[in-house]
Structure 1
Amino acid sequence: MNREISRREFVRGAATVAALSVIPLGVHAQPTSQLKVGLIGSGGRGTGAARDIIEADSGTIIWSVGDLFADRMRGALGNLADLGARVNVPASRQFVGFDAYKQVINSGVDIVILAAPPGFRPEHFKAAVEAGKHVFMEKPVAVCPTGVRMVLAASEMAAQKKLGVVAGTQRRHQRSYLETMKRVHDGAIGKIASAQCYWNQGGLWHHGRKPEWSDTEYQIRNWLYFAWLSGDHIVEQHIHNIDVINWAMNGHPVKCIGSGGRQARTDEKYGHIYDHFTIEYEYADGMRMLSTCRQIDNCASRVSEFLIGDKGVCDPGGSIRGENSWRFQGDNPNPYVQEHKDLVASIRSGSPLNEGRTVAESTLTAIMGRMAAYTGKEIAWEQALNSKLDLTKNGLAFGPMPVEAVAIPGVTQLT
């Protein structure tokens, strides 16, 4: 899939999006030194992020690339060929295999882009931080509580080392969201009484299966449909909207209950994930948020968030109605580039951003929703955070790999 077009363009089409730097305006100065960037995971998402960081700063250069699959890496380098000398990746800095991420990290880079399937993110992030690298990592940053705890620990280490960490939750770098959220936090809609968030759309890509692929290769190439790689779509995709509500609330929920299932996308090629979720989250002050996400063709689409306060209502993407009615108007630079601008500018300023904790908390918020739907149980935040659930595949190699059973509420047990 070319640069994850269906999802990113879906967002752009749903609302003309843009970003406002979270770095003071004066910090965006001409670069004083070259920053070498290593790309780990060269599928559509990674290729797009590589292009974005090149556009974001004239002093960045793609220095090395690593992927599990050589064909994906060749495709990415071909797609980036128009960037000319800004992509300087000779064969000696092209790495393939399960350990390719280590080779990229050790190739002399300053920044690493982590864009492999999310199940690998905690391990890759930990290794990058231990090696002293700045990080841009796509969301989500884990698929299970064990991974979230690893990311939280690595984020603290990054802060101690003064390393930049920015996540692919681009709404936090988007001007319309930033200006709206400032007004929300300043009291424009009063106390938030309830909220809703949605990511409802049709189905996504599937790569089919080639006879020469092992079970492992098939699952990784079709990672969306296996929770050990994607976390299910509530985690992999709906995290964007969930993150906005956490942002509005300046924190995470304390518990949730919900449901979900697999009604339309039942073919075995779709692994074992659900095609819809509905979750009710409750925050510390009693505010409740309704979260729905669906990936079913021929149904109504909605990708948005909504806040209801005692002084007004709000679309965090750019409007308020009520006592302090307001609508965003202004320039909207590309948020997918802006998040990289903010990262690089913060590095150059000597005050690197660190979004590790916020994106880890939003990831766990989505994971606890999945846990509630899979089991049919109410899940508390501390219960999810301390869960022993670990979806990591230790000793991963190409070969047989059975598909997990589809979760059945009331039967599937908590771990």
Structure 2
Amino acid sequence: MAATTSHTNFDVQNIRKDFPILSRKVNGQPLIYFDNAATSQTPQAVIDAIVDYYSNYNANIHRGVHALSQEATDAYEEARIKIQKHFNAAKSYEIILTAGTTHAINLIANGYSALLQKGDEVLVSALEHHSNIVPWQMLCERTGAILKVIPMTQSGELDMDAFAKAVSDKLKLVFVNHVSNALGTVNPIEHIIAEAHKVGAAVVIDGAQATPHIKPDVQALDADFYVASAHKICGPTGVGILYGKEALLEKLPPYQGGGEMIDQVTFEKTTYAGLPHKFEAGTPNICGGIATGVGLDYMNAIGFDVIAAYEEELLQYATEKLLKIEGLKIYGESSKKTAVVSFNVGAIHPYDIGTILDKLGIAVRTGHHCAQPIMDYFKIPGTVRASFSFYNTKEEIDIFIKGVERAVMMLS
């Protein structure tokens, strides 16, 4: 198995050496990667784990008696335990490995199709990614439940007074992200969970944008469900993490039928396997699951408190520099934010700024960020989004600022 790098002291230049892609050039310029909210880059330790799996013990899991299958099974289940400990889940089988956050959300929504009735209420926030909106709309169409929305404010925060008014005995399910992908706002999920539980509603937390910056404790949060993606926490694409309380997971029917999720199969009747296998039909992304554990090992070796403190420095530095650019407006002004700056400059289209930055080797995200309701609220087509990670530097931000200034000069 690949070794994990340990960093007793935070040295960003040393850490950058762990990420091979950061040494490449784009359009003849050194890559400056500020699209971390879309996906993080991959450290060598994770790449080595992927190569190690396919080179030395590639086999299907849970089914074979031969050595390779047993080795692969052990490594995969060890990764599940790493994830359990990272999120502080009570049981390892409360961790379901999926194909991504979107897959995990749809798994929950599909299960609640059997639990909701006409007139029940489902509450989502106005700060959600499309994958946190569409599955609940589909759920309500199937069941006759009513979808309600927690509105947002001009600062990019949730209107908590409106949330309080929306909590009623009809409320069965609340969905809210821990952190907004478009604005970086950290939502008050502890309060939301506590208030929803007073009326017996379950709460699903989308942690895809939070987990790169925050180490969530699902038991302390009392979250019913918490979902995340490996590719945002130094892991591979195609792997999602679904935590669910045992009692709730037991209530949900299987999402897919097939191998692995069964107990006994006859043409007359099929019985299902216990957790977590009930929700893991078919051959999983074995290598991806193993590599996810290695990615978490890597980030935990640095320390999430250290990561958060450094990224806060980057956020404040970039914010101060950007606000000196005439006509620049930042969207998302909460005092509680992760390292995301979403902005526009005057009437310049964000796509045009992003295109010029790309020519300079600077990767940012432009558009509506799969959060069209947020853009509609601000009456804009989209934003330029720069999102930072612990391997970014202030020197990169300086180059980025000059790039934005150059783009503005060219486009004005």
Q: Indicate whether the TM-score tops 0.5.
A: no
How does the TM-score come out when normalised to structure 1? Answer: 0.26
How does the TM-score come out when normalised to structure 2? Answer: 0.26
